[in-house]
Amino acid sequence: MTEATRTILGNATVIPLDGRRQILDPGHVVVEAGRIATVAAGAWPEGETPAARRIDLDGAALIPGLIDLHLHAGHGLTKNLGGDVDAWMETVGDVYARHADAEFWAADAALQALERTLGGTTLAVPFFGGGDNVMRTEDTACAEAHLREIEASGLREILVLGVDRPPFPKPRRAWADGRAVERSMSLSDQIAAIGTLAGRWRGAGQGLIDIAVSAPVIGEAEFAVADGPLQAALRETTAAAWALAQGSGSRFIQDGHRDGSVAFMAETFGLFDRRSVLAHCIDLTEADIATFVERGAGAAYTPSSLMAVFGYCPAPRLLAEGLRVGLGTDGPAPDRSLDMFRTMFMGHRHQAIRWKDPSAIDAWTILEMATLGGAKALGLDHELGSIEPGKLADLVAVSRRGAHLQPRDLPVHRLVFFANAADVSLVMVAGRVLAENGRPSALEAGAVLDRAERAYRLMKERAGL
């Protein structure tokens, strides 16, 4: 099937998530040239229709593609390494800096693409690296290897390329023909590489691929105890990343905001606008929230993350302030998956526990954050996030046949509280079917899994794990 094919997705329970909180049961959607042409009640269009492929969804819930607003490349092959959380962070940082070659990043990308496809995540925003601020951006071969796999998968992605936390230079190890080459990495190396990658990959994959820029989150306490040279380096690093984002028209996305850091970084470094997305956002101060409102930044709520264990993200308050809030898995390591349904359930439970009130946030709001909320945070809601005529046809069907999803009524509640990634039956991106009947069509699952296992074993051997 190509993007130009006319397709009718019929006999569905259509949940448009267009702001009206309506359900069409039964309903159908017509897709033409990669976009949604018709959204209507009735199992199928009435009367004669032009030639089209007809897909009977057998009562499945048809929703917009899920948007994972915060996750990490590389983490697919580093699950639980090193034992406890602190050891994991140290181990992962070492792996990314010294033991991960281009094939590691490619195999991880293919593995994550497979998991996203089967789970209905049509757009993801991964950081290229992580684990104690190790962003593997200076070696363009690594990011190129990742991006080629994502392009081949047919999924959407905004890859976040960041600079490391100073001081510089930092030791790095590259690999060529199985041999290690020791290098010294500077801030300018990372900035130059990010610019090169943005120039090559923005709009690739027929518009499915984009690049964003990041810099480390700096708290007021960290900055205050830094000596003069380190403070100067923190300023230089942040300014360079922000200038690159602004100059290239890239989104500016950060990982790890908490407890005053939003207001501090805005005031100290002059950051944030409507093209900024800030992840985690736990224990926000009133000044943080005021900064969100003033600068218009979006937020990624990550209820399954480790940061959600250590602090509280006031997602309902942010929404009440009119802010743009989406959901992220922060996965798929050390101890979580890329299952956005699991993340939705955790989002509800996280708020219910915080307020000791199961009605602290409702199922509709959670599902909206996983779809239209993510699109709004990224400034893409004019094209994605809801099932409306004219929008891109990123669509996901979720089977309602499982025992855990019965009875058949209350479909939004069934999706948020009971469904899981294994219930996804069909995935479409820009009108192209990427999975049908729970099986991928653009990826060969067995080959992806075998490749991931080989890359994992080689990485462990090199790292002595």
Which parts of 49-98 fold into alpha helices (H)?
Answer: 85-94
The H or E element containing residue 216 is none
- List the one residue out of 379, 389, 393, 397 whose CA is nearest residue 437: 397
Task: Point out which residues pair with 460 in neighbouring strands.
Answer: none
Give me the half-sphere count of Cα atoms (radius 13 Å) on the Cβ side of residue 438: 10
Which parts of 257-339 fold into alpha helices (H)?
Answer: 261-269, 286-295, 307-310, 315-320
Write down the pLDDT at residue 85: 80
Judged against a pLDDT cut of 70, whether residue 239 lies above it is answered with yes
Stretch 149-171: mean pLDDT: 96
Name the pLDDT band for 132 (thresholds 50, 70, 90).
low
Judged against a pLDDT cut of 60, whether residue 2 lies above it is answered with no
pLDDT digits (tens, 9 = 90+) for 286-340: 999 999 999 999 999 999 999 999 999 999 999 999 999 999 999 998 889 999 9
Q: How far apart are CA 277 and CA 302, in angstroms?
A: 13
pLDDT digits (tens, 9 = 90+) for 269-295: 999 999 999 999 999 999 999 999 999
Name the pLDDT band for 4 (thresholds 50, 70, 90).
very low
Structure tokens at 416: 């948020």
Q: How far apart are CA 269 and CA 285, in angstroms?
A: 18
Name the pLDDT band for 3 (thresholds 50, 70, 90).
very low
Name the pLDDT band for 29 (thresholds 50, 70, 90).
very high
Name the pLDDT band for 131 (thresholds 50, 70, 90).
low
Beta strands in 168-302 (DSSP E): 170-176, 179-185, 209-214, 252-255, 276-279, 298-301
DSSP three-state, residue 154? coil
Write down the pLDDT at residue 388: 98
Instruction: Give the long-range contacts of residues 179-186, CB within 8 A, separation 24 or more.
Output: 180/98, 185/138
Write down the pLDDT at residue 87: 86
Q: How far apart are CA 276 and CA 251, in angstroms?
A: 6
Lowest mean pLDDT among 43-57, 389-403, 423-437: 43-57
N residues, the chain: 465
User: What does the mean pLDDT of the chain come to?
Assistant: 95
- Rounded to two decimals, the pTM is 0.97
Q: How far apart are CA 216 and CA 218, in angstroms?
A: 6
